[in-house]
Amino acid sequence: MAKYRNVHIDFWQDGFVLDLTPEEKYFYLYMMTNSKTTQCGIYELPYRIMETETGYNRETVQKLIERFVDYGKVAYNEPTKEIILLNWAKYNFINSPKVTARIKKELEDVKHKPFVQLYLSQLVRYGYPIDTLSIDYVYKEKEKEKKKEKENEKIPYDEIISFLNEKASKSYRSSTQKTRDLIKARWNDGFNLGDFKRVIHIKTKEWLNDQEMNQYLRPETLFGNKFEGYLNQKEVRHAPASIGSDKPSDAAEYDELSL
């Protein structure tokens, strides 16, 4: 982060600035020179930081942010607490290898990705050379998306959960993150679709008609750390009716069942 920020001498003669109230001028200048600013003009600026550094209370800070959003000078993303100064590139873009490298790194760290596209559109608008900067960024983002898509396509979450729901008469969702994490963990252990179906088949045959054990026909039990044990368990035609001995728990050990 730079130790100082330059303010163009024409700032105070800008038509927009001339029409601002004293309070707005101060806050506008603050947004361009505060301790969190970056080379690309996108940075995290939580309300509590604005309160501390400006001396304004929360209500005033929120009111001022909303005004500048309405003026079309900034955009603010509440979930990530990031702000983008929409005319920042006009006065602060320096076309040098060192600065370009710095901007690339900053753009990679931006959490709210639509802000990155806004920044790149500014460079186009003001006629700055962006080939290297934009191509590198877009390429990296596409690679990340492809990698994520490939990973999701590789693991048949939907087919596994659909098979479980069909066999056990359940209504689990393949989109639940905890369920996906369990399936992914077993998949990364080297197990395949056939293994998942075999475990589901074995345990539904054993537990489906058992009032006590039926509740354990769920992803967290079937796809947990006992998955391999279930996979190697011999199929039973009739599950034993004993209570407690076969109830899954962290301390329980399962003996292989024979026909």
Q: Could you give the CA distance from residue 64 to residue 147 in angstroms, rounded to a whole number? A: 41
Helix (H) or strand (E) holding 84: strand 82-85
Q: Model's pTM, two decimal places?
A: 0.51
Domain 9-140 has CATH 1.10.10: yes
Q: What phi, psi does 81 have (nearest 5°)?
A: 60, 35
- End-to-end Cα spacing for the chain: 70
Separation between Cα atoms, residue 242 and residue 255, nearest integer Å: 14
Task: Show pLDDT as tens, one digit a residue, over the chain (259 residues).
Answer: 556 777 778 889 989 999 999 999 999 999 999 989 998 899 999 999 999 999 999 999 999 999 999 999 999 999 999 999 998 877 666 667 787 788 888 988 999 989 988 888 877 776 666 554 554 555 465 566 666 666 666 899 999 999 999 999 999 999 999 999 999 999 989 999 999 999 999 999 999 999 999 999 999 999 999 999 999 998 766 545 444 545 554 433 333 333 2
- Check residue 252 and give its pLDDT: 38
* DSSP designation for 251: S
Q: Identify whether the C-beta of residue 84 lies closer than 8 Å to the C-beta of residue 75.
A: yes
What token pair was written down for 207? 């537990």
Q: Which residues contact 24 (CB under 8 A, 6 or more apart)?
A: 64, 67, 68
Q: Is the dihedral of CA 162, 227, 250, 214 positive or negative?
A: positive
Helix (H) or strand (E) holding 94: none
- Within 13 Å of residue 243, how many CA atoms lie on the same side as its CB? 2
- How many beta carbons lie within 10 A of that of residue 62, not counting itself? 15
- Every domain of the chain and the residues it spans: 9-140, 157-232
Handedness of CA 111, 112, 117, 122 (dihedral sign): negative
Q: Do residues 157 and 182 lie in contact, with contact meaning Cβ atoms separated by under 8 Å?
A: no
Q: What one-letter code names the amino acid at 117?
A: Q
Asked if 43 and 5 touch (Cβ cutoff 8 Å), the reply is no
What is d(CA 84, CA 43) in angstroms, rounded to the nearest whole number? 7
